[in-house]
């Protein structure tokens, strides 16, 4: 049974560009959450998707958007990249509101 | 707003010894969950243990146990018989019963000395 998978592993973008990160949840899970983890800090909640809708959002600007597909996989999109968006982006899946299982993350570097 | 505080940026322990990591949190809610996650250099966040606030009994998972003091809003993690593979960042996290986001502490780096 595959766990949570994320792609790509690493990504380098230039300021002002747009990026899409992808996440496939653990089998049987229907909920996907996204977190941003800056170097040396704890993760910060971006948003959660359930039944293809954004169920809850953290304190992030509208440049951060997402999507959940009928197969429960999810995308995180970030527009107009800033240097401060450089971070590890973690995806977590769960069954409804139960405990969250994390993927290995995508390391985004903005230059 | 809820906050989670981990006051120990780094801890070290001799292999086979016991170490305790501290976590305090601030909330006005009575129903919530608390978690300890481990993040090794591979970056993947791994759930170590969870505690429901309504349970008085402290959670235990093999060599990992917690000391949950609800009135003091304290949730420490005890690791017994420390092993080299326990070396990692440890994060304490909080979630309200009816909320979905995890709120995280800043983490404690655990070093195991052979």
Residue B98: pLDDT above 90? no
Give the angle A101-B84-B76 at the CA atoms, nearest 5°. 60
Q: What is the pLDDT of residues A17-74, one digit of tens each?
A: 999 999 999 999 999 999 999 999 999 999 999 999 999 999 999 999 999 999 999 9
What values do phi and psi take at B23, rounded to 5? -155, 130
Q: What is the pLDDT of residues B41-52, one digit of tens each?
A: 888 899 999 999
Q: Output the CA–CA distances (angstroms, integers) from residue A21 to A24, A108, B31, B100, in the order listed.
A: 11, 9, 34, 21
Nearest to A42 among B42, B99, B104 (CB): B104
Span A5-14, average pLDDT:
97
H helix and E strand count, chain B: 0, 12
Residue B2: pLDDT above 90? no
Strands A10-13 and A64-68: unpaired
Q: What is the pLDDT of residues A84-93, one digit of tens each?
A: 999 999 999 9
Contact status of A25 with chain B (Cβ, < 8 Å) = no
Residue A98: pLDDT above 80? no
- Which residues of chain B lie closer than 8 angstroms to A56, CB-CB? 99-101
Can you give the pLDDT at residue A55?
92
Q: Which two tokens stand for residue B12?
A: 């070290």
Q: What is the pLDDT of residues B14-50, one digit of tens each?
A: 999 999 999 999 999 999 999 999 999 888 899 999 9
* Residues A103 and A88 sit within 8 Å (Cβ to Cβ): no
Contact status of B44 with chain A (Cβ, < 8 Å) = yes
Q: Do A104 and B103 touch (CB under 8 A)?
A: no
Q: How far apart are CA B66 and CA B63, in angstroms?
A: 10
Strands B74-79 and B103-104: unpaired
Residue A1: pLDDT above 80? no
* Residues A10 and A64 sit within 8 Å (Cβ to Cβ): no
Can you give the pLDDT at residue A47?
96
Q: How far apart are CA A51 and CA A32, in angstroms?
A: 10
Mean pLDDT, all residues of chain B? 95
Can you give the pLDDT at residue A54?
95
Nearest CA-CA partner of B64 in B38, B89, B41? B38
To the nearest whole angstrom, how far is the Cα of B61 from the nearest Cα of chain A? Answer: 15
Non-local (6+) Cβ contacts of A10 within 8 A are A106, A107, A109
Residue of A nearest to B38 (CA): A102
Can you give the pLDDT at residue A97?
61
To the nearest whole angstrom, how far is the Cα of B65 from the nearest Cα of chain A? Answer: 18
Percent of chain B with pLDDT over 90: 88
Can you give the pLDDT at residue A60?
97
Non-local (6+) Cβ contacts of A41 within 8 A are B106, B107
């Amino acid at each position: 049974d595959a766990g949570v998978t994320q792609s790509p592993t690493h990504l380098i973008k230039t300021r002002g560009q747009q990026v899409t990160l992808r996440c496939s949840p653990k089998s049987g899970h229907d909920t996907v959450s996204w977190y941003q983890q800056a170097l040396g800090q704890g993760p910060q909640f971006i948003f959660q998707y359930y039944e293809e809708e954004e169920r809850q959002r953290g304190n992030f600007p509208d440049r951060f958007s997402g999507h959940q597909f009928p197969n429960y996989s999810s995308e995180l999109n970030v527009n107009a990249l800033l240097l401060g968006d450089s971070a590890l982006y973690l995806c977590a899946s769960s069954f409804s509101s139960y405990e969250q299982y994390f993927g290995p993350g995508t390391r985004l570097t903005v230059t | 707003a809820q906050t989670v505080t981990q006051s120990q940026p780094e801890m070290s322990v001799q292999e086979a010894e016991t170490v305790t990591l501290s976590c305090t949190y601030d909330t006005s809610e009575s129903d919530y969950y608390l978690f300890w996650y481990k993040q090794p250099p591979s970056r993947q966040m791994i759930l170590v243990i969870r505690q429901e606030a309504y349970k008085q009994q402290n959670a235990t998972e093999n060599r990992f146990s917690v000391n949950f003091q609800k009135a003091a809003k304290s949730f420490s993690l005890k690791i017994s018989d420390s092993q080299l593979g326990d070396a990692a960042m440890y994060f304490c996290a909080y979630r309200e019963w009816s909320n979905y986001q995890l709120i995280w502490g800043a983490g404690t780096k655990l070093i195991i000395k052979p």
